[in-house]
Amino acid sequence: MNDYVPGCRATGELVIDGLGNIYSRDMDVVLLRAKVGMVFQKPNPFPKSIYDNVAYGPKLHGMVKNKQKLDEIVESSLTKVGLWEELKDRLQDSALNLSGGQQQRLCIARAIAVKPTILLMDEPCSALDPMATNAIENLIQELKLRFTIIMVTHSMKQAKKLSDSIVFFCNGKIVEFGSTQEIFENAQSPLTKEYILDH
């Protein structure tokens, strides 16, 4: 994503099992996008139907040979995010007509439809009301049993509730990392302690 951002650079290696170093010039970015799903801060459904939003990835990556299999993937993905019962009779409606919380759950369904190994989440609740936030947080608790989730959050309450491990960054550098319990109960860095107390 940052390849076209002027001045942006990455050093070192980021290795994903089965893919190798994602910064390698030989990296198949289409395969990488199938293995690493992304959910953004603000819900960003495609201007398509609810069905087509979820079906897009599996069709693009050639995961399906027939409509029945695609229907199964769409139903399964929407079920996992708690939307199937709400939307099963509206699958051809525009995804843009859904509420903010529904749109974010749809974006999560779209991301998991391609069966990624890793799910990246950039403050997935920041644009949502408290009820929608609670629904997304509960969903993340369930999804973390099936996927490796890497989530950015500024909410200490959310970090404590949802994470198993924490990496604390300041100005683009890692300050400290450890289990959630270690970071909240016995942070070693004064910067980490200060951030936890202030937030």
Same domain for 45 and 128? yes
Q: Give the per-residue pLDDT at 1.
A: 64
Same domain for 181 and 87? no
- CATH number of residue 92's parent domain: 3.40.50.300
Same domain for 149 and 191? no
Q: Give the per-residue pLDDT at 78.
A: 97
Q: Give the per-residue pLDDT at 129.
A: 86
Q: What's the domain count of the chain? A: 2
In three-state form (DSSP H/G/I as H, E/B as E, the rest C), the secondary structure along the chain is CHHHCCCCCCCCCCEECCCEECCCCCCCHHHHHHHEEEECCCCCCCCCEHHHHHHHHHHHCCCCCCHHHHHHHHHHHHHHCCCHHHHCCCCCCEHHHCCHHHHHHHHHHHHHCCCCCEEEEECCCCCCCHHHHHHHHHHHHHHCCCCEEEEECCCHHHHHHHCCEEEEEECCEEEEEEEHHHHHHHCCCHHHHHHHHHC
Query: Which tens digits make up the pLDDT trace of 4-21?
Result: 889 888 888 999 988 899
- Cβ neighbours of 8 (radius 10 Å): 9
Q: Which domain holds residue 193?
A: 164-199
60/177 Cα distance (integer angstroms): 37
Same domain for 44 and 137? yes
Same domain for 132 and 114? yes
Query: Which tens digits make up the pLDDT trace of 120-164?
Result: 999 999 888 898 889 899 999 999 999 999 999 999 999 999 999
Same domain for 170 and 159? no
The stretch 103-120 carries a mean pLDDT of: 95
Same domain for 84 and 123? yes
Same domain for 113 and 185? no
